Amino acid sequence: MVFTPHGRHLIAGAWVSGETTFASAPASGPVHRFSVGTPALVERACAAAEEAFWSYGYSTRESRAAFLEAIADEIEARAEAITEIGTQETGLPEARLQGERGRTVGQLRLFAVHIRKGDYLDRRHDPALPERQPLPRPDIRLLERPIGPVAVFGASNFPLAFSTAGGDTAAALAAGCPVVVKGHSAHPGTGEIVAEAVHAAITSLGLHPGVFSLIQGGDRHVGTALVTNPLIKAVGFTGSLAGGRALFDLCASRPEPIPFFGELGSVNPMFLLEHALAARADALGAGWAGSLTMGAGQFCTNPGIAVVLEGEHADRFTQSARAALERTGAQVMLTEGIARAYREGQARFEARNAVTPVLSTESEGRMARPNLYETTAEAYLQDHALGEEVFGPLGLVVRVRGPEEMAALARGFEGQLTATIHMEDADLAAAQALLPILERKAGRVLVNGFPTGVEVCDAMVHGGPYPASTNFGATSVGTLSIRRFLRPVSYQNFPQGLLPEDLR
């Protein structure tokens, strides 16, 4: 299947052209032009989503499950074309795009299974106690209900799994919420073909066309208009701290504030305990380098900091990591802007006396080479900038003088998506002392692994205390993420015929 983008927006079932266009900036292949989004298009899409909610928000779980499965089928039917344009736009290898497509359709189907089971509804019932003294108790039932239209922002680093039909969209549609997507200008063609798949599923099942719209980017006012539209009831976002915080503030300042579920990234520290470092320093260094450079380091769970006990084993670990990084060639980054920010992040490290270069390389254009630096816990705690995420294959080794200093360093970290403990059985006591700190810092704590991969499942948490995310009680990956787009409603003294179907 050959796919040539037409460059239009999908607004409530109609492909709409804008007055102005922007050119794509692919890593390879042809340049295409796409219509620039406008606040007027946002208003149309949101109005259609609100209209669709009155049918879709009250549809059966089975019909929504069938819709999610139909989207997955339509994406798979376009598999080769999605891979082709995805690799052209992002520079990601085919295997990565194929794997990400598998994750995308997998999470759609996982949510179909999840809502069929019905556990997410959190159904509760307190029967009436008419004889209770001094006052009788009424009959009270509880059910989770969808909140209304949801805005989703496509992510630059995941053109499929976190974008048009990615996790936020899947969770919102599963909950019964129509979705308005703001496409990311880094991969507009990929967004368009996936939107075609969603549109095909809507058409085949006869759903209200306002259940899904895609508005391409190209203008920052589109995002502002979307999060401030009074019909939008929640926002899902994956991106930078600066961009996410700006949108979060807009959501909070609305006449009716709404939740902003922003996943903003982190440095994902790893703590290498004494016996693990002594037993596996070389293997841990090589493994860290592989995780650090996976996808050119463009994962929000990229483990950017390794905390080690100073000494000869720390030397072995650092040199092993350096050797593995030296063998890694330059990798293409997702956009020119991300590549430029990576070079600026490296320059920030190079300009600091608090760090020592272990491997310092030059990156040019859209290509990135790995870099490695080293510092002490004392220097790290005195320089807040060392804890800021550098999006790309850059690592920092922080040497500590003992378990007490390691614990102090852990307390000094801001909120993280992940934190990792590398340990042997003999490290159990040290790990037990460290764990309560890490639980307060991260949404996911790992033992003897690397956090770059995120499993889509019931028990996964992809979120954490600020600034890793704007809502520490939520996750953007896994079936628990559906709760972001639901709210509990109590039904008191309802006759059976009036109760929602899921409570009868």
Other C-beta atoms within 10 Å of 404: how many?
10
Determine which one of 196, 300, 389, 405 is catalytic. Answer: 300
- In angstroms, the CA 253 to CA 274 distance is 48
- As a three-state string, the secondary structure of 370-425 is CEEEEEEHHHHHHCHHHHCCCCCCEEEEEEECCHHHHHHHHHHCCCEEEEEEECCH
- CA-CA distances (angstroms) from residue 480 to 122, 158, 175? 12, 20, 11
Residues 6+ away with beta carbon under 8 Å from 153 = 181, 182, 184, 223, 235, 236, 237, 238, 239, 247
- End-to-end, the C-alpha distance of the chain in Å comes to 47
Residue 404 annotated in active site: no
- In angstroms, the CA 459 to CA 456 distance is 8
Residue 251 annotated in active site: no
> Residue length, the chain?
504
Question: What are the backbone angles phi and psi of residue 60, rounded to the nearest 5°?
Answer: -75, 155
253 token code pair: 């300042």
Angle at 370 between CA 367 and CA 376, to 5 degrees: 145
Say if residues 141 and 494 touch (Cβ distance below 8 Å): yes
Determine which one of 51, 192, 263, 374 is catalytic. Answer: 263
As to burial, measured by CB atoms within 10 angstroms (0-12 exposed, 13-18 middle, 19+ buried), residue 287 is: buried
- In angstroms, the CA 126 to CA 137 distance is 9
377 token code pair: 């816990």
Which residues are designated catalytic?
263, 300
